[in-house]
């Protein structure tokens, strides 16, 4: 049946229970930009845009061509399914389309969910636009690459669509959402910070990462002029004074990064930016790049240190040495750029029994903490992220995880209960998982010199903000004592903090 409407409704599920998402729903804006050029009416719904999302979704879907959901592995699946089931109940014949990281990893399992009709795999701009055209005109979906969909009782899995150059697509249609509701205060970049993506994909082969599964180790990036055009547009039209870069690998093309920095300097664009992701070896030794990063206002760089234990780096095919991470930290300190180092532990060591893996995981954690000590001694501004290894379908370590007893969820909802904080890896003990949570959620939060500022900025009431700062400083003193002596037992202060965090959702 041909639809008379030109409306498309898109939903961004919440990633954490009972907490509004922060930032611009970029994946939905990206999926919309070809359709906007064809004058489609795009309705984007998210918790930070509307108070009653269910009412907004159900009202908007009344005359829509389709309802779309984006999702990563974890709680976004739970929330996305909740809303999709309500839509399917209200509008049983309305096509429900899912896209994003997790549906791209598990397209057949996602499509088999009763309330989901179609999955867009991988880069969604071209695929989703062609899908909407076909749904509007009642055409077959068989010729559209990048789709999995139901056809009667069968699930059809069309060939994947190769990653397309981002420069082929129109500008991001920021006007589709209330940008004011998407900005957030950051002590690092600016009081009106926006998230932004300059590239897609990653050429590297880290064993835990799903990038190589979804994008086949390809990388595409916007040309420098278009990136800075968007920065300037965000600054002039929306008052943005900070940009958080959310690329998988911002530094895959260093010449492009230099051009972005030079373009910002040539235009005199005064805007803080950072959180740009890149590998340590990518950046070592290029003094021109570092000087440009500093001069253009780059505040921070995110890099995957992953481990202080070289055998662990070799297992995950990281292609770096532990010494590279230390050299990178020194380089950051030299140019006054903050580094965020991401670590993971609890790897699926092959040909080992659980007892051996327990000892190796303890060793991983101990040696990684020794490396963290070195990094923080170089510069106290450096930030540490510490996670449990989480198995994702299609990644090189996934089969090793299955061999060790990881039970992959048999349905989509099961994946909604698995994330970096709840990996369900049976070879990691509950004590080890609690320690990682203690380090990640508490120790490294309070060791980060910027945490107090960016958390307190979320509190509008000045009196409560002052009280919060006093409480934060008290916990920070306890954490510094714990870290100095590596005393992680009897975590009574952590329990109090968790209770405080539960009550105050802005933490």
pLDDT digits 0-9 by tens, 156-214: 999 999 999 999 999 999 999 999 999 998 878 888 999 999 999 999 989 899 888 89
What b/e sequence results for 128-162 when a residue is b if at least 16 CB atoms lie within 10 Å of its CB, and e otherwise?
Answer: bbbbbbbbbeeeebeebebbbbbeeeebeebebbe
Both structure tokens of 56: 């907004």
Q: Are 6 and 76 in contact (CB under 8 A)?
A: no
d(CA 62, CA 450): 46
**Residue 145 DSSP one-character state:** T
pLDDT at 346: 94
Give residue-wise pLDDT tens across range 330-358. 999 999 999 999 999 999 998 888 999 99
Bridge partners, 340 (sequence order): 302, 383
Task: Give the number of other CB atoms < 10 A from CB of residue 396.
Answer: 16
Give residue-wise pLDDT tens across range 93-107. 999 999 999 999 999
Which is nearest to 284 in space by CA: 251, 226, 232, 324?
A: 324
Helix segments in 379-461, DSSP class H: 398-403, 412-415, 430-438, 444-447, 451-456
- Range with the lowest mean pLDDT among 56-65, 281-290, 371-380? 281-290
Dihedral Cα 96, 99, 103, 105, nearest 10 deg: 160
pLDDT-based confidence at residue 460 (cuts at 50, 70, 90): confident
Place of tokens 């895959």: 252
SS3 74: coil
224-238 helix and 254-267 helix, angle to the nearest 10 degrees: 40
Asked if residue 4 has pLDDT above 70, the reply is no
Asked if residue 234 has pLDDT above 90, the reply is yes
Q: Mean pLDDT for the chain?
A: 93
Give residue-wise pLDDT tens across range 15-55. 988 777 789 999 999 999 999 999 999 999 999 999 999 99
Which is nearest to 257 in space by CA: 497, 265, 377, 89?
A: 265
Question: Which architecture, in CATH terms, is 183-409?
Answer: Alpha-Beta Barrel (3.20)
Q: Are 103 and 45 in contact (CB under 8 A)?
A: no
pLDDT at 505: 59
Task: Give the number of other CB atoms < 10 A from CB of residue 456.
Answer: 18
Asked if residue 290 has pLDDT above 90, the reply is yes
Average pLDDT (270-295) is 92
| Half-sphere exposure of residue 42: CA atoms within 13 angstroms, side-chain side | 25
pLDDT at 2: 44
Both structure tokens of 480: 């510094």
Give residue-wise pLDDT tens across range 484-498. 999 999 999 999 998
d(CA 112, CA 125): 23
Task: Give the number of other CB atoms < 10 A from CB of residue 421.
Answer: 14
Average pLDDT (431-442) is 94
Which is nearest to 31 in space by CA: 173, 142, 165?
A: 173
Q: What are phi and psi for residue 286, nearest 5 degrees?
A: -100, 85
pLDDT at 353: 87
Q: Are 83 and 61 in contact (CB under 8 A)?
A: no
Task: Identify the sign of the CA torsion 251, 254, 256, 262.
Answer: positive
Average pLDDT (304-325) is 95
SS3 204: coil
pLDDT at 455: 86
pLDDT at 1: 40
pLDDT at 464: 87
CA 101 centroid distance within chain:
10
pLDDT at 506: 55
Task: Give the number of other CB atoms < 10 A from CB of residue 217.
Answer: 13
Average pLDDT (48-74) is 96
Helix segments in 253-353, DSSP class H: 254-267, 280-283, 287-295, 310-315, 322-334
d(CA 505, CA 179): 22
Give residue-wise pLDDT tens across range 212-227. 889 989 999 999 999 9
Place of tokens 């998988």: 248
Bridge partners, 98 (sequence order): 69, 119
Domain boundaries, the chain: 7-157, 183-409, 428-507
Domain 7-157, CATH class in plain words: alpha beta
pLDDT at 348: 95
């Amino acid at each position: 049946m041909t639809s008379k409407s030109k409306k498309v409704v898109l939903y961004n599920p919440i990633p954490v229970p009972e907490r509004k998402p922060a930032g611009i729903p970029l994946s939905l804006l990206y999926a919309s930009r070809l359709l906007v050029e064809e004058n489609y009416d795009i309705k984007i719904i998210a918790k930070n845009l509307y108070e009653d999302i269910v009412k907004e979704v159900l009202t908007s879907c009344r005359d829509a061509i389709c309802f779309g959901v984006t999702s990563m592995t974890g709680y976004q699946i739970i929330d996305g399914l909740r809303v999709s089931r309500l839509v399917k109940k209200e509008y049983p014949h309305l096509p429900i389309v899912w896209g994003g990281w997790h549906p791209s990893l598990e397209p057949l399992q996602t499509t088999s969910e009763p309330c989901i009709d179609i999955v867009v795999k991988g880069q969604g701009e071209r695929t989703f636009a062609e899908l909407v055209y076909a749904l509007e005109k009642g055409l077959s979906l068989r010729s559209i690459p990048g789709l999995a969909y139901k056809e009667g009782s069968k699930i059809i899995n069309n060939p994947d669509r190769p990653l397309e150059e981002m420069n082929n697509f129109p500008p991001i249609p920021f006007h589709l959402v209330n940008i004011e509701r998407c900005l957030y205060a950051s002590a690092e970049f600016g009081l009106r910070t926006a998230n932004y993506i300059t590239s897609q994909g990653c050429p590297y082969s880290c064993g835990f990462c799903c990038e190589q599964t979804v994008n086949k180790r390809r990388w595409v990036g916007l040309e420098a002029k278009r990136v800075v055009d968007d920065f300037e547009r965000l600054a002039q039209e929306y008052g943005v004074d900070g940009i958080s870069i959310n690329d998988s690998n911002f530094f895959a093309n260093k010449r492009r990064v230099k051009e972005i920095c030079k373009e910002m300097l040539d235009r005199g664009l005064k805007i803080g930016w950072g959180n740009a992701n890149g590998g340590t070896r990518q950046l070592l030794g290029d003094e021109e790049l570092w000087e440009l990063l500093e001069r253009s206002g780059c505040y921070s760089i995110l890099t995957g240190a992953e481990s202080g234990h070289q055998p662990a780096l070799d297992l995950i095919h990281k292609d770096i040495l532990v010494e590279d991470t230390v050299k990178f930290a020194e380089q950051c300190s030299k140019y006054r750029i903050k580094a965020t180092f991401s670590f993971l532990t609890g790897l699926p060591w092959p040909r080992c029994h659980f007892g051996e893996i327990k000892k190796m995981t303890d060793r991983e954690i101990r040696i990684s903490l020794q490396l963290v000590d070195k990094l923080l001694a170089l510069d106290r501004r450096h930030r540490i992220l510490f996670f449990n290894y989480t198995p994702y379908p299609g990644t090189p370590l996934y089969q090793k995880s299955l061999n060790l007893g990881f039970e992959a969820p048999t349905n989509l909802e099961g994946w909604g209960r698995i994330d970096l904080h709840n990996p369900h890896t049976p070879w990691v003990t509950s004590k080890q998982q609690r320690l990682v949570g203690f380090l990640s959620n508490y120790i490294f939060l309070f060791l980060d010199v910027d945490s107090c500022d960016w958390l307190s900025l979320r509190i509008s009431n000045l009196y409560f903000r002052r009280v919060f700062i006093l409480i934060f400083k008290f916990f920070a003193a306890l954490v510094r004592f714990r870290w100095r002596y590596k005393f992680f037992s009897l975590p009574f202060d952590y329990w109090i903090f968790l209770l405080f965090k539960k009550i105050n959702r802005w933490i």
